[in-house]
Structure 1
Amino acid sequence: MIPDIGLGTYRLKGQDVIDSVTTALELGYRHIDTAQVYGNEAEVGRAIADSNVPREEIFLTTKVWTDRFHHDDLIKSLEESLERLGTDYVDLVLLHWPSPNNEVPVAESISALAEAKSRGLTRNIGVSNFTMAQLDEALGVEGGEQIITNQIEVHPFLANKALVNHCQEKGVRVTGYMPLAVGKVMEDDTLQQIADDHGVTSAQVALAWVAARDIVVIPSSTKRAHQQSNLDAMALSLSSDEVERINALDRGERIANPSFAPAWDE
């Protein structure tokens, strides 16, 4: 249901995000990921509207920020997102983080997501940065059975194996953000050696490794060549030995770890 690769737009603003989304759609991307807190929904929407790609062919994701988790406010915030995006619906809406200090009960925010779906504001619902316990709680409340993904940080230096396995066992697809570890994969000797053996880049090797775990990848890029390279990585096949060598790079290196983050799974 979720396309296997998408374009992440975190940290992209103004003309940069317009150009990035425009180029990605030209190259064949059909999955665009944004969020309220990114401050670029209007530009993402403009790029989609100005493209030659029909809206129904694009899988568009946005995320509700933690200050809009109360039921009525969440619905209102999503309506505001749709207005900025210039669309009647998104394909997926996520709770961007668990509610800090559990200020808003998960049952309330999941209920709001389910209502948004029933009203046609979104086609699908999900969560992001939820731990195993938090995911289990979300799945157990009314509407929780409709959750289709948990978007979490995944790259060779943070395999997040226990959480990935838990999600998959629960039938929840994992979407992996920061799959290139904000460029750090390009500095790793093991990834570079494997890349040289295949005649590809270390970034492509990292993406192929994440994708091989049945994880959706949403790398961010503003350059056409890099976007094409990321697309091409989906066709790269790694040997079991290469996969094991990459598995060994896991060092629990977490990049997205704000002060309000949950107590992460080991």
Structure 2
Amino acid sequence: MNMPAIGLGTFRLQGQTVIDSVLTGLELGYRHIDTAQIYGNEAEVGQAIADSGIERASLFVTTKIWTENLSAAALAPSLEDSLARLQLDQVDLTLIHWPSPGDAVPLAESLTALAEAKARGLTRHIGVSNFTLAQLQQAIDLVGADRIASVQIEMHPFLQNRRVARLAGENGIPVTAYMPLAYGKVMHDPVLQRLAVQHDTSPAQVALSWLLQQGFAVIPSSTRREHLQANLQAARVRLSAADSAAIAALERGERLVNPDFAPQWDPDA
């Protein structure tokens, strides 16, 4: 899978704000755009992609199937609707956004439907998001690790999700870290501030570099041109083993995305 390691997240961005963010990001060099059905911005993301004039083959576009659309009857039609909004014939990656609340739709059913959508050419790759250890293992058992192109999980210095990341790594499944800047909280952490001074950069770039150096993809979002550009340059920051250890010590289980329908999270994840 040729997914760029640094992508542009669009969570919480609406209307002209998301159009401007995506257009600016594409102008700066982003080629990986992440959206979702529940974000309510697929049409605007699609408009920005169309207006950018960048050839489709150069882009990697991810969307996610919402919980209401996980049944065998609903999944593919909902993805077709997403494609219409995005003005695309195919997305590069489609994820199950959240496990079905209360297992209302069995994982076998939604994964089979997602695999069938891939076979129909609606998506190039499939994957999962916000899965627990047990759910990820179940997905692996159902379809095989080689067919799971990515697992997307909340991950930042204050919630490192090590156990899920380890299981993914052991099975060769790429990990994408969402919320990598912890809603901007990384900017105020003394350790990250100290490392930023040492490396003549920002705490945000330090946090992103730390994730990138572990082999994870990142999808930060921003509406400001200077931040979009700085995030894209995070790979230039090279942290030492001591730097990485200092960041690893910041783990405190601070989960920022925890809706009432979330699964029962693994302890110390």
Normalising by structure 2, report the TM-score. 0.97
Partners of 1:202 and 1:72 lie apart in 2 by 45
SS in structure 2 of the partner of residue 164 of structure 1:
helix
Aligned residue in 2 for 1:182: 183
SS in structure 1 of the partner of residue 193 of structure 2:
helix
Point out the more displaced range, 134-143 or 58-67: 134-143
Moved over 6 A (4+): none
Aligned residue in 1 for 2:158: 157
SS in structure 2 of the partner of residue 91 of structure 1:
strand
Encode CA deviations 1:183-208: one digit per residue, 9 max, x unaligned: 00001011000000111000000000
Structure 2 residue 228 is matched with structure 1 residue 227: yes
Extract unaligned runs of 5+ from structure 2. none
Aligned residue in 2 for 1:138: 139
Check the 8 A contact 1:97/1:129 in 2, yes or no. Answer: yes
The residue type equivalent to 1:8 in the other structure is G
Check the 8 A contact 2:94/2:127 in 1, yes or no. Answer: yes
Give the deviation of 1:170 after TM superposition.
1.1
Check the 8 A contact 1:44/1:85 in 2, yes or no. Answer: yes
Identity among equivalent positions (%) equals 58
Check the 8 A contact 2:155/2:178 in 1, yes or no. Answer: yes
Aligned residue in 2 for 1:92: 93
Check the 8 A contact 1:110/1:143 in 2, yes or no. Answer: no
Normalising by structure 1, report the TM-score. 0.98
Check the 8 A contact 1:152/1:175 in 2, yes or no. Answer: yes
Partners of 1:239 and 1:126 lie apart in 2 by 32
The residue type equivalent to 2:54 in the other structure is V
The residue type equivalent to 1:21 in the other structure is V
Structure 2 residue 56 is matched with structure 1 residue 55: yes
The residue type equivalent to 2:119 in the other structure is S
Check the 8 A contact 1:7/1:33 in 2, yes or no. Answer: yes
Encode CA deviations 1:207-254: one digit per residue, 9 max, x unaligned: 001111111000000111001100111111001111111111000100
Structure 1 residues 13-162: aligned runs within 5 Å: 13-142=14-143, 145-162=146-163
Check the 8 A contact 2:9/2:221 in 1, yes or no. Answer: yes
Partners of 2:145 and 2:210 lie apart in 1 by 29
Q: Quote the RMSD (CA, aligned, Å).
A: 0.9
Check the 8 A contact 2:145/2:173 in 1, yes or no. Answer: no
The residue type equivalent to 2:59 in the other structure is I
The alignment of Structure 1 onto Structure 2 pairs a total of residues equal to: 266
Extract unaligned runs of 5+ from structure 1. none
Partners of 1:205 and 1:30 lie apart in 2 by 21
Encode CA deviations 1:150-205: one digit per residue, 9 max, x unaligned: 10000000111111111110111110000000000001011000000111000000
